[in-house]
Structure formats: structure tokens, C-alpha cells
Amino acid sequence: MALALAEAAKAAEEGETPIGAVLARDGQVVAAAHNHRERTNDVTSHAELEVLRLAGQQRGDWRLSDCTLYVTLEPCPMCAGAILAARVRRVVFGAKDATAGAMGSVLNLPRYPLGAKPLVEQGVMEQECRELLQGFFRARRAKAEKRDLL
């Protein structure tokens, strides 16, 4: 999860929502990525989808049933669907997403009969993940308020 947090920090430095993801197999990193929505103007450029794309390209296979995904924020419905489709064996996330979380908070897509049923572990380095996100949005709001005052 520390590597996923480092990816999230990179995203924040780029002005992206600070979410990072790492896909690992047998304790070895297969791929690492972070959000790229602002840079690419692509709504699907979430950290989870980016890391799944990279892993599929590097492995030459979209099936990731022997992998664990580490992500700093609970996946949204779009990402959760892709994770299930890729047959990821295990998902570990930091902070819950009370707005769009689809692995236990708002929805729980792994419970539906959609094929793959990854093991889901939540709350790993939760405080650090949450603080990075909250700090990013706090700074963004302060910047917007400052602009509004000028």
C-alpha cells in the first residue's frame, strides 16, 4: 500500500485527484499507476484502470487472477467492474468512498453473480490514504476561495 500511496502523491503533484494503485503478483510489482483524468481528459483514466491496462500489456494477458490490487481509495462502480472482469484475485484498499464506493460502502459488486469474486480487504493504511485525499481537496478549496476573493 505504501507504493500505491507514492503513486497517489505523484497524482497530487500533477494536479490529479491523489489516488494510486499497484498490482502485484507473488509479492512483486507487476504495474503501478495513478489517476490521469485531467491530463488525458479521459473519464476512464482512474488509477485502477490505468494499472489494469499496464499489467495486461506487460503480461500479454488481460486475465489477472493471480494478482492482488492495492489502491488508496475504494474502487468506484466502473473500476470495480473492470477488476471483476480482469479476475483480480484480491483487492486491498485504504480509504472507503462513501460517495461512490463499490466494494462495500455504497455498493458491493463482488457480491453480485458477475463471475469473479475477489477477496476484499479494506482499511489498510486508511488514515494516510484519507489524509492525502483530504489535504488535496482542502488545498484546492483554499486556492479557489483565494481566487474568488481577488
Show which residues are catalytic: 48
Alpha-carbon distances of 86 from 8, 17, 23, 62, rounded to whole Å: 22, 24, 12, 6
Q: Which of 20, 16, 17 is nearest to 8 (CA)?
A: 20
Whether residue 103 contacts residue 80, with contact meaning beta carbons closer than 8 Å, is answered with: yes
**Which residue's C-alpha cell is 477477496?**
119
Cell (9 digits) for 71 = 489502491
